Amino acid sequence: MRGKIAIYPGTFDPVTLGHIDLIKRGLRLFDGLIVAVAGNSTKDTLFNAEERLAMLRAETEGLSGVEVESFNSLLVDYAQERGVGTIIRGLRVISDFEYEFQMALTNRKLAAKVETVFMMTSENYASISSRFIKDIARLGGDVSHFVTPAVAARLKEKYSL
């Protein structure tokens, strides 16, 4: 990838329409986007890192300028290893801002040259959270308003086991 590149990190468990929207909008601001799946997350994930990578790659296949990778280090260390100076983070609600603001300030202390850009979610996706989607799917609800058909099928398969 060449030009102005940003990293969009997350657990993506699972990838939602809100994530896809942010990726597409990020591509309007940057020449390329590294969608970085946190492999060593402290969150309990439904899908393992390989499954999350596969879903993201499938969902972003037609988007020029997107790379999907995993990382197992501090985000700012990963950014510096990749030579990327910008991190994109999505904000849905006020509580997201508080957490993300603290994280951005901490990252700045660790790596002053890595900046964080906050992007407000599109209002259509403000209520979407991976946690809620997993709860809905686990209880047999319809998640088609929140994820693509392929991701919905993966959720159904996961909870059918």
> Which of 59, 52, 18, 16 lies closest to 36, judged by CA?
52
Asked if 130 is an active-site residue, the reply is: yes
Catalytic pick among 19, 52, 134, 154: 19
Asked if 109 is an active-site residue, the reply is: no
Catalytic pick among 89, 130, 134, 154: 130
Asked if 129 is an active-site residue, the reply is: no
The H or E element spanning position 160 is helix 149-160
Catalytic pick among 24, 25, 57, 92: 92
Asked if 43 is an active-site residue, the reply is: yes
In the DSSP assignment, the letter for residue 108 is H
Q: What are phi and psi of 117, to 5 degrees?
A: -110, 125
CB 120 within 8 A of CB 91: yes
Catalytic pick among 4, 43, 138, 156: 43
Q: SS3 helix, strand, coil % of the chain, rounded to 5?
A: 45, 20, 35
List, by residue number, the catalytic residues.
19, 43, 92, 130
